[in-house]
Structure 1
């Protein structure tokens, strides 16, 4: 990781401060959807607006990062009601619920709670150390000077949280013709979605808060990440509380069946494949031989 001289100067003056630092950072997360390429060609602007509004609770969230020198807990501040999820995208997204996420920078440990189709999982993993490139570009976020860093992140092919609309629409007319021929065919909500192989991650970190932490699973820069851009998602810090009088104890989450990342992704893939098959054969209705989780 290449670090310009301005970062060294800030780090030198704040190194001893980092040993006893603790606090809370509040983040606003927003994911955009390319509505121009969303849905069928005959979808009206009013229909797109209604869908966008129904998706809002999935795409706009508030999180709190509670941290000290080596540990942190990242949790959703307020869970918004999704309303009538219906079928397709809404039903799919409501089945993937992320809980608290714990990071230990000293042991490189990552633990997160996940709820998948009503079952609790405790996913244990290691922190992915991205190859950050720190540039010379800087700006102000509130009272803090932040410096830009970029890295490419490899995406697990089974990570459904990274699903996005396919950009290739070359076969759209062919697909539309097939649908007209078979009016009984049920639309597969996964058909026009894809998982990218890698995404560009852009982070803005401040050496003025010298903890190598940030929102979600991201870490490893010489200062707290205050802004993060990953694909179509932007996470921006809106409030920071440093060294409160009563610092909260940070404990790893403990609810759910313990699984590794690989085991969890395998469970998700199997259930997602089953869900797609049910949509194709049974119109998205329950039944049709569908398997539920036990316990």
Structure 2
């Protein structure tokens, strides 16, 4: 049944030529940052999180997820909110591929684009539902595994998807559900849809990465290690 619903969703997805969804960010309390050196920074991030507007824009060929500041001038709290939420850098994907790209502008490593395989999540669909922005959404949960220099971490992810809008994507390009994700809760960070525009007449902004400077995550890790070793020496 789950497979049938998903196939129907993908078939209906072709009827939507383009779409633009706005999301607002909320950063909740986290015991990891309740004390220590990052306590003040995390508090500022949580305070300024709602000053960022996120957009999920897509057309028939590509999709991107990026942030827009509501404030005219970038504030340190806004930048901290992007960092703590893991959404500082835009996400981009060609819909006929299984690869996601993120653009970076690093003070140390310079500009580069990271290429990685799209994650395939094992979603558990639940019967619980609620209304978001006027649409009936259903709950789904999965576990996301993140590995970085600090180790390997498992995060519980809760998504509220809308079968009425057969777009199998959402914030941070989470995917694989039979409907658009209107709310995504990843640990202590929540993205909630505030505006949904299907087949708008205006040309949508699609932030495309520079594919001439692609690096893998392994290459970036090695570049950072080499830089740290050069400083020590």
User: Equivalent of 2:28, from 15, 26, 32?
Assistant: 32
In the alignment, what sits opposite 2:104? 114
8 A contact 1:120–1:256 mirrored in 2: no
Instruction: Report the alpha carbon displacement of residue 33 of structure 1 after superposing the two structures with TM.
Output: 3.8
- Deviations 1:266-288, CA, capped at 9 Å, x for gaps: 434666xx4xx9xxxxxxxxxx9
TM-score of the pair, normalised by structure 2:
0.77
Alignment of 1:72-111 (within 5 A): 72-78=63-69, 80-82=74-76, 98-111=88-101
- Deviations 1:32-74, CA, capped at 9 Å, x for gaps: 343796335xx9xxxx6x6555334775532111013552111
Q: Which has the larger radius of gyration?
A: 1
Structure 2 unmatched runs, 5+: none
Alignment of 1:1-295 (within 5 A): 3=2, 8=5, 17-21=12-16, 22-34=18-30, 38-39=34-35, 51=41, 54-56=44-46, 59-60=49-50, 61-69=52-60, 71-78=62-69, 80-82=74-76, 98-117=88-107, 119-158=110-149, 197-248=153-204, 250=206, 252-254=208-210, 257-268=213-224, 274=228, 289=231
Q: 1:36 to 1:203 in 2, by over 3 A?
A: closer
List structure 1 runs of 4+ shifted beyond 6 angstroms. none
Instruction: Report the alpha carbon displacement of residue 25 of structure 1 after superposing the two structures with TM.
Output: 0.5
8 A contact 1:70–1:106 mirrored in 2: yes
Instruction: Report the alpha carbon displacement of residue 153 of structure 1 after superposing the two structures with TM.
Output: 1.1
Residue 155 of structure 1 aligns to a residue whose secondary structure is: strand
Q: 1:223 to 1:258 in 2, by over 3 A?
A: same
Aligned residues: 222
Structure 1 unmatched runs, 5+: 159-193, 278-287
Instruction: Report the alpha carbon displacement of residue 228 of structure 1 after superposing the two structures with TM.
Output: 0.6
Q: 1:199 to 1:16 in 2, by over 3 A?
A: closer
8 A contact 1:26–1:237 mirrored in 2: yes
8 A contact 1:98–1:115 mirrored in 2: no
- The alignment's C-alpha RMSD in Å is 3.6
